[in-house]
Amino acid sequence: MLELRPSCECCDTDLPPDSTEAMICTFECTWCARCVEVCLGGTCPNCGGDLQRRPIRPAAQLDAHPASTRRVVQAGLHRRA
């Protein structure tokens, strides 16, 4: 089951479970689409893998399978464009 982390690990912007801007790698490192393009060049800095749009969990499933509330932010990755 995907964690659905609540924020971008680069800029800490909120990424709710229904966000179409959330991107993940196979290890579920979570990034916003803007940081994937501007800061990361389309590649996960942790594993070197590609990043894909995170699936949206149906709202009816969130009560039984809630999104994570643990925020992960990696200092030094974010670049202002």
On the question of pLDDT at 55 being above 80, the answer is: yes
Question: For residue 21, what are its two tokens?
Answer: 């801007």
Rg (CA), the chain: 12
Residue 19 pLDDT: 98
Structural domains for the chain: 1-71 (3.30.40)
Quick one: tokens of 10? Answer: 């680069």
For residues 64 and 52, what is the distance between their CA atoms, to the nearest angstrom? 25
Judged against a pLDDT cut of 90, whether residue 71 lies above it is answered with yes
Confidence bin at 79 (pLDDT 50/70/90):
confident
